[in-house]
Amino acid sequence: MDCRVRTHRFMMLYCGLYHSKIYLRSNASMLELYHFNNSVCSQKARMTLFEKGLDWRSHEVNLFISEQYDPKYLKLNPKGYVPALIHDGKAIRESTLICEYLDDIFPLPPLMPNGAAERVQVRLWSKTVDEGLFEGVTVFSFSAMFRDRMKKLSVEGRERRYRNVGDQVRRDRHNSVFEHGVDSPYVSRAVATYEIAFKAMEETLVGGSNWLVDDMFSLAEVNLAPFIARLEYLTLLDLWIDERPAIGSWWQRVKDRSSYQAEISDPLTSEEIEEMEVSGARIKPRVEEMRAEYLAWA
Amino acid sequence: MDCRVRTHRFMMLYCGLYHSKIYLRSNASMLELYHFNNSVCSQKARMTLFEKGLDWRSHEVNLFISEQYDPKYLKLNPKGYVPALIHDGKAIRESTLICEYLDDIFPLPPLMPNGAAERVQVRLWSKTVDEGLFEGVTVFSFSAMFRDRMKKLSVEGRERRYRNVGDQVRRDRHNSVFEHGVDSPYVSRAVATYEIAFKAMEETLVGGSNWLVDDMFSLAEVNLAPFIARLEYLTLLDLWIDERPAIGSWWQRVKDRSSYQAEISDPLTSEEIEEMEVSGARIKPRVEEMRAEYLAWA
């Protein structure tokens, strides 16, 4: 696994904090992140680290050669997911919890609102991601491009991944999308899930707010950004936002953040971008049909 | 919908707080809970209210006559789930977030640990419930008993429930369990999910801790209790805990809590208990087989 320290230009903006408790705390112990460049959940954690201006040591876990199922990595995250954060010798896992943990430990600049009810709103967006959009992006990405990569693995090699972590739920989903591609029922459920989420976002933003919760850039944006970015790279995003201008303006604001550029767009190679565009365009007509079918049903 | 105020004996224990800010805050605004007696997520919220010694106004949402899909209720929770909490005129939804919100607003007695890493541990248990055990208990309960109730509804009546809230994911799950009962693949996934969760619980408790996180009764216990109680009422729990004595002792400690008795066991009628036992026993042999199949695969 590749290992390096990432220092952020952004840190310079926080020179006012150099002598503060927060700066001392952030340097008192090394932060280490096990992650993969174009993994949506890794992007969430990295955006948070960038927004906080924190230095961290990088350990790459290459998902394309199944390093997330390596027994050493499974000690950090028995589910075999990236990212995992190490801080003060403790492993913190689940990207949503890593982001909340970082905001808890390094409160400035804040990424959670002051009010308890507003914090619930942020967490509702996190749940929308964790209990729907995450699976959705997985099956879109898988049916569009990773499926072709998987065909190069042996049946036993594919099976072992899920047996390793005992994850029958993921295996069933994987097998369905591997076998049926974009026609898997998991893909049509993903379409429905994104439709519901974008509808809720439009209702939230249409009143003129710049951001989803409490008019501040928060973990709601951080949690959603990689999942919407992936749809955009797959050329699918316009299906949902062309007719929703409030989301379009909000999305441009998100993309204008330095943290988005530093941790999502800039690190992608032109080959990665091309692979997402070409393969996404292949499934797009069927995804559009599925959206129409969902709207006719709902 | 039935409406009444619940006052807790437990409140008396907190007479020391009568003149404190916390007491004033808790009485400054009425708490209202929309819930259903034997709904697992409602039980979580009620246990938290009880642990905090809070008064609240009760609104029953009868799931057996689909009151959760009533347009008035859908304004409080567009997903058509109970519970929903009203506080300071704001609707808070999702039981996990309701419990965290109550702990945030009414910090004594605490149900979240002091340390940030320990708070992550509690939230990992919440995620285990929200991203697996919740669906698991739904399909166990449904395949065992609610399926028979559903057969009395028209096809259109059943379909309308999910179309109302646009929830294709829930509809697909519902249809699979309605059609195939305990042989639905959702049931075998639920078995796998519970197996993974109980294995993690045993690993956590086997060192001798009384409680799952930071040796304190926390929202980890509150979140899990109704889901384990339901398995026990369905006579399925011994499949997982007979060979795991550390969980058995922990479970007895949970059941000894006044909040468990007041909000889970005491309110159940003997008819409700009998229905769970009789119908659970019907699916038990197949669930036991599925567990063996899972263990042979994993």
Residue closest to A222 by CA, chosen among A146, A109, A76, A140 = A109
**Residue A21 scores a pLDDT above 80:** no
Question: Chain B window 154-173: which residues touch A at a Cβ cutoff of 8 Å?
Answer: 163, 166-169, 172
Residues of chain B with CATH 3.40.30.10: 3-105
What percent of chain A is predicted at pLDDT more than 70?
A: 91
Look at A193 and B169 and tell me if their CB atoms are within 8 Å: yes
- Cβ distance A14 to A26 under 8 Å? no
Find chain B residues with C-beta within 8 A of A130's C-beta: 127, 130-131
**Residue A43 scores a pLDDT above 60:** yes
In chain B the beta strands, taken as DSSP E runs, fall at 3-6, 32-35, 56-60, 84-87, 90-93
When scoring A25, A101, A120 by the number of chain B Cβ atoms within 10 A, the one with the most, hence best to mutate, is: A120
Look at B97 and A120 and tell me if their CB atoms are within 8 Å: yes
Nearest-by-Cβ selection for B189 from A132, A172, A192: A172
Q: How far is it, in rounded angstroms, from Cα A99 to Cα A42?
A: 10
Fold of the A3-105 domain: Glutaredoxin (3.40.30)
What percent of chain B is predicted at pLDDT more than 90?
A: 83
Fold of the B116-297 domain: Glutathione S-transferase Yfyf (Class Pi); Chain A, domain 2 (1.20.1050)
- What does DSSP assign to residue A115? S
Look at A120 and B130 and tell me if their CB atoms are within 8 Å: no
B75 by Cβ neighbours in 10 Å (0-12 / 13-18 / 19+) ranks as: exposed
Residues of chain B with CATH 1.20.1050.10: 116-297
**Residue B1 scores a pLDDT above 60:** no
Residue A4: its pLDDT value, please?
Answer: 55
Least confident of A6-20, A214-228, A243-257: A6-20
Residue B16: its pLDDT value, please?
Answer: 35
- Write down the ipTM of this complex: 0.91
Question: Chain A window 222-261: which residues touch B at a Cβ cutoff of 8 Å?
Answer: none
Look at A117 and B185 and tell me if their CB atoms are within 8 Å: no
Q: Give the chain A residue whose CA is nearest to the CA of B290.
A: A168
Residue A54: its pLDDT value, please?
Answer: 97
Look at A189 and B169 and tell me if their CB atoms are within 8 Å: yes
Q: How far is it, in rounded angstroms, from Cα A164 to Cα A73?
A: 12
Q: Is A115 on the interface with B (CB under 8 A)?
A: no
- Cβ distance A59 to A34 under 8 Å? yes
Residue B155: its pLDDT value, please?
Answer: 81
Find chain A residues with C-beta within 8 A of B195's C-beta: 166
Bridge partners (DSSP) listed for residue A59: A3, A34
Look at A192 and B297 and tell me if their CB atoms are within 8 Å: no
When scoring A81, A97, A118 by the number of chain B Cβ atoms within 10 A, the one with the most, hence best to mutate, is: A97
Find chain B residues with C-beta within 8 A of A166's C-beta: 192, 195-196, 294, 298
Mean pLDDT of B14-25: 37
Q: How many CA atoms lie within 13 A of B5 on its CB side?
A: 5
Residue B64: its pLDDT value, please?
Answer: 87
